Amino acid sequence: MNKFPFIFSNEPRDRLSRHLAFWTFWWLFQGFLYAFTPSIDSNVNYMARLPISIVESAVYLTAHMFLAYSLIYFVIPVYLLKNKYFLTGFWVLVMFFATAALSTFLSMYVIDDVRNALMPQHMHAPKRFRPSSFYMGLLAGLRGAITIGGMAAAIKLTKHWYIKEQRNLQLQKENAEAQLQLLKAQVHPHFLFNTLNNIYSHTQNVAPVASQLVMGLSDMLRFMLYECNQPLVPLSKELAMIRDYISLEKIRYDEQFDIHIDLPAETGHLHIAPLLLLPLVENCFKHGASNMLEQPWLNLQISLKENIMDMRLMNGQPIERKQQSGFGIGIHNVRKRLELLYPGKHTLKIFNEEEVFVVTLSLQLENIHTPRQKEESLLKSNSHA
């Protein structure tokens, strides 16, 4: 998309230039085309009809712009892209006939005045109020509406599908790179887990704290190596890993760390992209608690409302800290993944205040019933029956 900023950029300047170029082309095209028609006067040559046709084209441009923007900003995103095909067809017909009616109104009440203002007195045409003029104007307006509506919809859908395809290609590239990094880190995983289990068994009675650390680390590594190769994981597992991570960090800081966690007890069948929340929590320890000499604190609240997850994460920061020009690579990666995986389905806000760092995230999650979950739900329903 960076290759064609004029076509695909969402910057206000590029969008304005793009729209101006399109409507300028359409205005001049219509003007030069309809100057060939004898609707003005068959005895007037082409060069004499051309200025009048250019002005008329500018008048009809209002109806064409009404239709184009109604389709690309209302009908297509609200109905077509959400697979509401019946309502899409209904609103397309409504917009087409509304545009045709608007074009007819302009033809009957505006165009004649425009022609009479630009043509000599002896060539003035009488105003057209006859029913036949209305129906002919309606048909002509409908023809123009279908043309410009089809062009606008085609451009909008082509752009939408191209951007979607580029996003999919970028996601595939990101996944390939992530898998490569995972393969590099996944050297003899069985050896790794067997070693951790041996350490756990030897320290369980001698050093219970070390044993707890080893078990928590083992669970986290198992999740990262075996669960995160899926595009989505159950939200319950993602939250469990966050609990394990915070527990390990809490042991490392002993009793000095003031931690308050409020996580939902039930997550249903909600799924989330793996390791999406962990970098935000990790950032609190890396840039907050580790730099505070005394009284480090963290507050994590996650709530669910249907399939919307709201997360609020706060941690204390040292009063005297090094000023950073931006956020760490972890938060940068989270932003990038959210834009790729949840376009239009998330809101991420970060407040880097003097003594507190606040992250708020609202995310629309997927509700997926796995075969095992369907079987459990069926067993529960049968037991209640």
383 confidence band (pLDDT: 50, 70, 90)? very low
Q: Indicate the residue type of 53.
A: S
Give the per-residue pLDDT at 134. Answer: 58
Give the pLDDT confidence of 291-318 residue by residue, as tens digits: 555 677 889 999 999 899 999 998 887 7
CA 236/CA 306 separation, integer angstroms: 15
The single-letter code of the amino acid at 71 is L
Mean pLDDT of 221-236: 78
Amino acid making up residue 110: V
Answer whether residue 340 shows pLDDT above 80.
Answer: yes
Place 279 in a pLDDT band, splitting at 50, 70 and 90: confident
pLDDT at 375: 42
Lowest mean pLDDT among 191-200, 240-249, 266-275, 343-352: 191-200
- How many other C-beta atoms can be found within 10 angstroms of the C-beta atom of residue 288? 20
Q: Would you state the pLDDT for residue 244?
A: 82
Instruction: Name residues whose C-beta falls within 8 Å of residue 72's C-beta, 6 or more positions apart in sequence.
Output: 152, 153, 155, 156
Residue, of 370 and 246, whose pLDDT is higher: 246
What percent of the chain shows pLDDT beyond 70?
67
> Average pLDDT for residues 168-195, to the nearest whole number?
65
CATH 3.30.565.10 fits 257-384, yes or no: yes
- The model's pLDDT over 107-130, given as tens digits with 9 standing for 90+, comes to 777 776 776 676 655 454 555 544
How many Cα neighbours within 13 Å face the side chain of 292? 23
Q: Note whether 235 and 270 are within 8 A (CB).
A: yes
Candidate ranges 13-17, 355-359, 374-378; pick with highest mean pLDDT: 355-359
Q: Where in the chain is the domain with CATH 3.30.565.10?
A: 257-384
Decide: residue 362, CB within 10 A, 0-12 exposed, 13-18 middle, 19+ buried. middle
Band of residue 259 on the pLDDT scale cut at 50, 70, 90: confident
Cα→Cα distances 186→198, 224, 264, Å: 19, 10, 32
Read off the pTM. 0.48
Indicate if the pLDDT at residue 8 is higher than 60: yes
pLDDT at 131 > cutoff 50 = no
Across 193-221, average pLDDT: 69
Kindly report each contact of residues 242-245 with a partner whose C-beta sits within 8 Å and lies 24 or more positions away, as own/partner. 242/277, 242/278, 242/281, 242/300, 244/216, 244/219, 244/220, 245/216, 245/220, 245/278, 245/281, 245/282
DSSP 291: G
* 58, pLDDT greater than 80: yes
72-100 core/surface letters (b: 16 or more CB in 10 A; e: else):
beebbeebbeeeeeeebeebbeebbebbb
Q: Do 281 and 313 form a contact (C-beta atoms < 8 A)?
A: yes
Distance between CA atoms of residues 301 and 268, nearest Å: 18
Quick one: pLDDT at residue 385?
43
pLDDT more than 90, % of the chain: 9
Q: Are 239 and 262 in contact (CB under 8 A)?
A: no
Name the residue with tokens 């007037």.
Answer: 44
